[in-house]
């Protein structure tokens, strides 16, 4: 996170006529952590595996805007900012009972639930499947691995047919290059939501001991 925040502090929109520097911060992050590329599961691979189909981007961004205006953190992105996210996201429909994220894998994308619900489970060493949450429309999954290039903490399984918005490492880097203020605001909000969620999960796991 220090590397991300350091970059954001110094990265501003280029002046007219100034050459824009391309960011590869997120795209190369897993390699920088020593993760073999063969172990990385990008969205394209997972989409093919779970039978995802591409959704209409205009509908997807309208759903995202409607949902995030009700979220106490993400509503800090105004309507114009959310519209500007559209080129950097993918939008897909995924059938029920599909693992869009798997525990202990390396994945360089996050998803936002636009419709349907997703079970978030932690597989325990003794075989128990502990239900951590049931993600509803507007909620974000997988951002921790996108931000810190670490292993996935949980398995996320669609409980019904779902529409998802997907932000990959490449999409994040493109956003950093094209609209750094938007990227900085999004990353700051993701980090805040993630911190709060981890506190809740930590408390739940402690209660199970």
Task: Tell me the pLDDT tens digit for each residue of 47-60.
Answer: 999 999 999 999 99
Query: Which is more confident, 152 or 20?
Result: 152
- Residue 185's pLDDT band, with cuts at 50, 70 and 90, is very high
| Strand-by-strand arrangement of the 90-94 sheet | 53-54, 90-94, 162-168, 109-115, 140-141
Query: Which is more confident, 129 or 52?
Result: 52
Nearest alpha carbon to residue 168 among 95, 111, 114: 111
- What's the mean pLDDT in 113-134? 93
What's the confidence (pLDDT) of residue 33? 87
- 10 Å Cβ neighbour count for 6? 10
CA 107 from centroid of its chain's CA atoms: 10
Task: Give the separation between CA 105 and CA 156, rounded to whole angstroms.
Answer: 12
Residue 27 falls in which region: left (phi positive, over 0), alpha (psi -120 to 50) or beta: alpha
Is residue 135 predicted with pLDDT exceeding 90? yes
pLDDT tens column, 109-121 = 999 999 999 999 9
pLDDT tens column, 59-101 = 999 999 999 999 988 999 999 999 999 999 999 999 999 999 9
3-class SS of residue 13: coil
3-class SS of residue 116: coil
What is the rounded average pLDDT for all residues in the chain? 87
Helix axis angle, 169-178 to 180-208, nearest 10° = 140
Beta bridge partners of 53: 93
- What's the mean pLDDT in 175-191? 95
What's the confidence (pLDDT) of residue 6? 47
- What's the mean pLDDT in 147-162? 95
What's the confidence (pLDDT) of residue 138? 96
Residue ranges covered by each domain of the chain: 43-204
Please give the CATH number for the structural domain made up of 43-204.
Answer: 2.60.120.10
Instruction: Name the strand (E) or helix (H) holding 183.
Output: helix 180-208
The residues near 61 (Cβ < 8 Å, ≥ 6 apart) are 82, 83, 85, 86, 89, 91, 165
Burial class (CB in 10 A: 0-12, 13-18, 19+), 120: buried
With 0.95 as the threshold, say if the pTM is over it. Answer: no
What's the confidence (pLDDT) of residue 205? 64
Nearest alpha carbon to residue 10 among 149, 147, 172, 176: 176
pLDDT tens column, 3-46 = 444 444 444 444 444 444 456 889 998 988 888 888 899 999 99
3-class SS of residue 165: strand
What's the confidence (pLDDT) of residue 32? 87
């Amino acid at each position: 996170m220090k590397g991300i925040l350091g970059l954001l502090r110094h990265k501003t929109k280029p002046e007219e006529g100034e050459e824009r520097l391309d960011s590869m911060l997120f795209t190369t992050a897993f390699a920088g952590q020593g993760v073999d590329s063969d172990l990385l599961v990008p969205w394209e691979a997972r989409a093919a595996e779970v039978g995802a189909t591409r959704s209409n981007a205009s509908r997807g961004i309208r759903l995202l805007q409607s949902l995030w205006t009700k979220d106490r953190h993400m509503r800090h992105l105004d309507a114009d900012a959310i519209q500007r996210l559209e080129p950097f996201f993918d939008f897909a429909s995924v059938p029920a009972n599909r693992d869009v994220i798997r525990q202990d894998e390396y994945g360089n994308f996050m998803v936002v639930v636009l419709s349907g619900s997703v079970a978030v489970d932690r597989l325990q060493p003794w075989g128990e499947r502990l239900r951590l949450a049931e993600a509803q429309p507007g909620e974000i999954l997988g951002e921790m691995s996108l931000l810190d290039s670490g292993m996935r903490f949980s398995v996320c399984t669609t409980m019904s047919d779902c529409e998802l918005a997907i932000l990959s490492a490449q999409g994040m880097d493109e956003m950093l290059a094209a609209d750094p203020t938007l990227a900085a605001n999004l990353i700051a909000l993701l980090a805040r939501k993630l911190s709060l969620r981890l506190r809740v999960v930590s408390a739940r796991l402690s209660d199970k001991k």
